[in-house]
Amino acid sequence: MIVSIVIVAILVVKAVLFFTAKPKVIVNYVAEYNRITRPVNYDPNDNAATYYQKAFDAFVELPKELQEVPYIIGWVTDFNNTERTLLEKWLVSNTLAFYYFKIAANKPYYWLERHAGKDNNMMSMNLHESFLLRQLIYALTWDAKLAASKGRLETAFENIIDCYKAGRQKCLTPSLLTEQKVGLEIKLDAAYGTMVILDRAQLDSTSLKSFNDALQTEFNNDTYVLDFAADKLFCYDVLQRTFVDNSKGTGRLYWKEAERFPGSTLTFGCYGRWYNLWYEWDGPWYNACPFLYGPTKKETIAQIEQLLKLFEPLKTQTPWQIHKQGYYLEKIEEICNNNFFLRMVAPSPRREFSLYHLVKAKTEALIAIAAILRFKEDNHQFPVSLDELVSNGYLESVPMDPYSDGPLVYKLTGDNFKLYSVGEDFVDDDGATNVRTDGATRRDILFWPIRRLDDIRKKSEKQKAEREAKARKEIEEANQPE
């Protein structure tokens, strides 16, 4: 009897401790984030933040009539007359915003002291400027296209270089991967806008050389590599808010936080509220109820550090090199998938890793394309190879393909040329961007030639005609007498 009472008492104590133990917020990681992101020898006069804010304040949003225009429109003449008039008026209305943007883009860095809401939670940090910056880049890229269509190539290319500089500022590390992603996307937008200009505008050798030299200089000065320091702080901030602190490091996920972490198969009630925590869980069975059987705080910390070590090669190696190592990115994902906490908050670098190398390859491809077109202007024919551009001083070096152990693929095609990467499947499909093989889709990354709207329309009309012809044939066959 006494033994039973003792056991019951112990269970009651454990239950009380279980329901009363809470996380402890000890470190202000927002302050730590501001500390590590603040530029060395910070000088407010070198900071672009003030001028970017002036640009945001002066910015006039895209007219509603143009917001409904298909996103595939890439050149001024793709608009009808009414749309083109609206476009020009909109760009003129943003003259002041562009003025401030250009001052900002030519500052050494763009740093914002971050603030958070209640309890200095990093999850509540405001990153609103990223959206505003993308809007400005979209407008300035169109201003570059419009200038190029009117023969003002110097203005057009200056705009593009300023956009690239803004992307480089946003990529300055350490910062959160979400911020780095914005910088990469800005560079990508600038590169695509430039390729449209190279494809559609009337270009001369002098303008091409000037742009090529300027972009090559920016590319050479761009020392950015992926950085995970800020995301590590984010993981530790969420960790201290969601795991019970018992001074031993063996506390598990706080039971009140369980509803935020999909995976539990337990349904329980408390204070009249019911939490249905069912989720199709594909990890270990003992993690099916994270606040009872899931990994402890100490174990999760060890896994965070393990992930960060696995992230290190992603800073210096190409997708091809990672691919040759075999099971690598999948190993990172396996660690995250087997831990509820990491599945929710740990950075998953696959997307940013691919984007980083796509942007790098596309920028190098852009430099090469401008050099190829300049060679054509000077010599009335395309170069036989990329090596010929290097040997004749048109290109500093042959651009390498991050998805192979060789350069980007360059091929002459009659009166044009192809320049492409073999893409994430590591298979050369002759520049094809949609190849069906054994039930899977394979894609190269085609940098040149780019797809024009009129080509897309022709292809769409052809596909529509083929579908209609097939439907008519099926109807005719169905109506045939037996």
Residue 158 and residue 48 share a domain: yes
Q: Residue 25 domain-assigned?
A: no
Q: In terms of Cα–Cα distance, which of 86, 182, 175, 80 is closest to 131?
A: 182
Counted domains in the chain: 4
Claim to verify: residue 340 and residue 475 sit in the same structural domain = no
**Cα dihedral angle (208, 212, 215, 217), rounded to 10 degrees?**
-140
Report the pLDDT value the prediction gives residue 391, as an integer from 0 to 100: 97
The answer as to whether 17 is a domain residue is: no
What confidence score (pLDDT) does residue 282 get?
47
Q: What is the pLDDT of residues 126-184, one digit of tens each?
A: 888 999 999 999 999 999 999 999 999 999 999 999 999 999 999 988 899 999 999 99
Taking the C-alpha atoms of residue 334 and residue 343, their distance in angstroms, rounded to an integer, is 9
Q: Determine the pLDDT at residue 24.
A: 87
Is the preceding peptide bond at 174 cis, omega within 30 degrees of 0? yes
- Of 174 and 4, which is predicted with more confidence? 174
Residues 163 and 270 reside in one and the same domain: no
335, 192: one domain = no
368 with 411: CB under 8 angstroms? no
Does 284 have pLDDT greater than 70?
A: no
Give the Cα separation of 129 and 30 in Å (integer).
Answer: 17
Q: Alpha helices of 384-452 — where are they, by DSSP H?
A: 386-391
Cis geometry, peptide bond prior to residue 383 (ω within 30 degrees of 0)? no
Q: What is the pLDDT of residues 334-366, one digit of tens each?
A: 888 778 788 888 887 888 899 999 999 999 999
Distance separating alpha carbons of residues 452 and 208, to the nearest angstrom: 21
The rounded percent of the chain whose pLDDT value lies above 90 is 59
Scanning the structure block, which residue is given the tokens 């401790």?
17
State CA 372 to chain mean position distance.
28
Regarding whether 200 and 160 lie in a shared domain, the answer is yes
Same domain, residue pair 404 and 316:
no
Q: Are residues 460 and 317 in the same domain?
A: no
pLDDT class of 13 with cuts at 50, 70, 90: very low
Shared domain for 155 and 167, answered yes or no, is yes
179 and 263 housed in the same domain? no
- The reply to whether 395 falls in a domain is no
Least-confidence region, from 202-211, 324-333, 353-362: 324-333
132 shares its domain with 188: yes
- Nearest by Cα to 175 from 134, 226, 241, 235: 226
What does the pLDDT look like over 213-243, one tens digit per residue? 999 999 999 999 999 999 999 999 999 988 8
The answer as to whether 33 is a domain residue is: no
How much is the average pLDDT of 403-423? 95
What pLDDT sits at residue 122?
Answer: 92
What size, in residues, is the chain? 482
Paired strand residues for 448? 419
Say what the pLDDT of residue 289 is: 57
**What's the whole-number mean pLDDT along residues 361-384?**
96
Average pLDDT (255-267) is: 50
pLDDT of residue 253: 79
Average per-residue pLDDT for the chain: 84
Please report whether residue 470 resides in a domain. yes
**CB-count exposure of residue 15 (10 Å: 0-12, 13-18, 19+):** exposed
Last residue of a domain, one of 181, 197, 226: 226
Among the residue ranges 11-20, 68-77, 173-182, 332-341, the one predicted with the least confidence is 11-20
The mean per-residue pLDDT over the stretch 80-94 comes to 95
Inform me whether the pLDDT recorded for 419 exceeds 90.
Answer: yes
Question: Which amino acid is located at 271 in the chain?
Answer: Y
Q: Has residue 441 got a pLDDT over 70?
A: no
DSSP track, 26-80: ---HHHHHHHHHSPTT--GGGBSHHHHHHHHHH--PPPHHHHTS-TT--SGGGS-
- The pLDDT, as a whole number, for residue 439 is 56
Q: Which of 317, 333, 348 is the endpoint of a domain?
A: 348
Q: How far is it, in rounded angstroms, from Cα 173 to Cα 180?
A: 8
SS3 399: coil
Asked, for residue 21, whether it belongs to a domain, the answer is: no
Task: Give the amino acid at 43.
Answer: D
- Same domain for 47 and 139, yes or no, is yes
Beta bridge partners, 390, equal none
Consecutive H or E run containing 143: helix 129-149
Q: What pLDDT does residue 128 have?
A: 86
User: Once rounded to an integer, what is the mean pLDDT over residues 428-450?
Assistant: 80
**In which domain, by residue range, is 468 found?**
453-482
CB of 89 within 8 A of CB of 60? no
Query: Does residue 34 register a pLDDT over 80?
Result: yes
Judge whether residue 405 has pLDDT over 60.
yes
Q: For residues 262 and 117, which has the higher predicted lDDT (pLDDT)? A: 117
Amino acid at 182: V
Q: Which residues fall within 8 angstroms of residue 192, CB to CB, at 6 or more apart?
A: 362, 450
Q: What pTM does this model have?
A: 0.84
Measured CA to CA, the distance from residue 7 to residue 3 in angstroms comes to 6
Counting beta carbons within 10 angstroms of the beta carbon of residue 289, is it exposed (0 to 12), middle (13 to 18) or buried (19 or more)?
buried
Read off the pLDDT band of 436 (50, 70, 90).
low
If asked whether residues 289 and 220 sit together in one domain, one would say no
Give the C-alpha distances (Å, rounded to integers) separating 208 from 75, 140, 311, 336, 394: 19, 20, 39, 47, 10
Check: CB of residue 363 under 8 Å from CB of residue 191.
yes
Tell which residue, 153, 155, 133, 138, has the closest CA to residue 66.
Answer: 138
Using alpha carbons, select from 427, 426, 425, 429 the residue that is nearest to residue 411. Answer: 429
Cβ atoms of 121 and 257 within 8 Å: the answer is no
Whether residue 291 has pLDDT greater than 80: no
Residue 12 inside a domain? The answer is no
Q: Are the CB atoms for 417 and 382 separated by under 8 Å?
A: yes
Is residue 368, in this structure, part of any structural domain at all? no
Q: What pLDDT is recorded for position 38?
A: 96
Handedness of CA 85, 186, 175, 109 (dihedral sign): negative
